[in-house]
Amino acid sequence: MAQVDTAETERGDAEDRPAGAPRAGIRRAVRAASRPEPWKRGPVLAALAVFLGLFMLLHAQIPNRVGNLGSLVENLLPWLGLFVPVLLAGAVWRRSPSAVVALLLPVAVWLNLFGGLLTDKSHPGADLTVVSHNVGADNSDPAGTARDLAASKADVLALEELTEQARGTYEKELAKAYPYHVVQGTVGLWSRLPLSDTRPVDIETDYGPLAETRPTAVKLSYSRALRTTVATQHGPLAVYVAHLGSVRVTPRTGFWTISRDRNAQALARAIAAEPNKRVVLLGDLNGATDDRAFDGLTSRLRSAQEAAGDGFGFTWPAEFPMVRIDQILVRGVKPESSWVLPATGSDHRPVAAGIGF
């Protein structure tokens, strides 16, 4: 009996050793996973996870026939990733291995779509710095906004939503830093370098059903795009400045983008006909580059933020940016860096990029 007790004690001691504890834990986990009951938990959570992954993966297939839903989803696409931690919390609460495994699909899709934006892709040594800013028709401090923009040290500065009342203020405040400037309607370009061959670009802007909502105190011209040539030491650079039509979300129309989409198509045609191989587009496009409405532009131009930025670069609304609708797109030059400047008196934040030749 003493020998049996000793053997049992030795076996007990061996099982209590730290080296055996991980093996015992692994065996318990394997036994638990092999049981069918845990995998049957949370079928709804698992189904929602698969649906979320497929919804993001196939976003281009969502039709625009009803309320322009496809474009709306594409503008909010990065935020769909927030559903992953919500579903994960539910899967942990329900102790559902199937739901956890199903979440691998939306995680993989989201990282494939946006993982590249999470790293800093900027490089030093840009040849030219450009800035674009929707200064806001209701900006109560245009002089302060102009000084903030001049402090950016940009070589080329594009302004959108200029009003007749504020135009003189911007011209006065920016005159010292930018000896060259052009204005066409509500858009303008200020430059440290000479400008030439400036002309308006007809993007067929029309306020449509929103005409009655336009403030009567703010005088906005219908000319909202221009094209000019900047004389750089590396040769001529064609620069476009544009402010595309507004968008609205209403119960009656859904995601209303008729004016913006028509503007985008006209602008894409103008850039397609541009003979200069080096092109920069600066402006408020009222939409993210993922939006299918900009396929005509993004097929010819690349986003400076996506190529050389750090993060998503959201610009609107200025207090808590949720989407990047202010863009810098280029062709024939290399984006070296891209960033968002601090908020001004506008409801948009300025965007900047360094480009190389």
> Looking at the structure, do residues 85 and 189 belong to the same domain, yes or no?
no
Distance (Å, whole) CA 188 – CA 167: 9
> Looking at the structure, do residues 78 and 178 belong to the same domain, yes or no?
no
Binning pLDDT at 50, 70 and 90, where does residue 205 land?
Answer: very low
251 φ/ψ angles, rounded to the nearest 5 degrees = -60, -30
| Helix (H) or strand (E) segment spanning residue 198 | strand 195-200
Closest CA to 327 of 342, 340, 345: 340
> Looking at the structure, do residues 100 and 197 belong to the same domain, yes or no?
no
> Looking at the structure, do residues 109 and 142 belong to the same domain, yes or no?
no
Say if residues 155 and 191 touch (Cβ distance below 8 Å). yes
- Which domain CATH number covers 132? 3.60.10.10
Portion of the chain with pLDDT greater than 90, in percent: 81
> Looking at the structure, do residues 144 and 287 belong to the same domain, yes or no?
yes
Task: Tell me if 61 is assigned to some domain.
Answer: yes
Average pLDDT, the chain: 89
| Helix (H) or strand (E) segment spanning residue 92 | helix 83-94
Measure the CA dihedral 59/60/62/65, to 10°: 150
Give residue 36's pLDDT.
60
Say if residues 155 and 130 touch (Cβ distance below 8 Å). yes
> Looking at the structure, do residues 147 and 275 belong to the same domain, yes or no?
yes
> Looking at the structure, do residues 109 and 251 belong to the same domain, yes or no?
no
Give the pLDDT confidence of 45-76 residue by residue, as tens digits.
999 999 999 999 999 999 999 999 999 999 99
Is pLDDT above 90 for 265? yes
> Looking at the structure, do residues 106 and 131 belong to the same domain, yes or no?
no
Structure tokens at 99: 């739901």
Last residue of a domain, one of 98, 117, 136: 117
> Looking at the structure, do residues 77 and 107 belong to the same domain, yes or no?
yes
Task: Tell me if 34 is assigned to some domain.
Answer: no
> Looking at the structure, do residues 158 and 279 belong to the same domain, yes or no?
yes
SS3 283: strand
Unique residue bearing structure tokens 């691998």: 104
> Looking at the structure, do residues 133 and 51 belong to the same domain, yes or no?
no
Task: Tell me if 57 is assigned to some domain.
Answer: yes
> Looking at the structure, do residues 110 and 243 belong to the same domain, yes or no?
no
Is pLDDT above 80 for 247? yes
Last residue of a domain, one of 117, 144, 176: 117
Measured CA distances, 191 to 119, 132, 230 (Å): 31, 12, 8
Q: Which amino acid is at 3?
A: Q
Binning pLDDT at 50, 70 and 90, where does residue 9 land?
Answer: very low
Domain that holds residue 166: 122-356
Distance (Å, whole) CA 179 – CA 169: 15
Task: Tell me if 267 is assigned to some domain.
Answer: yes
Q: What is the number of structural domains in the chain? A: 2
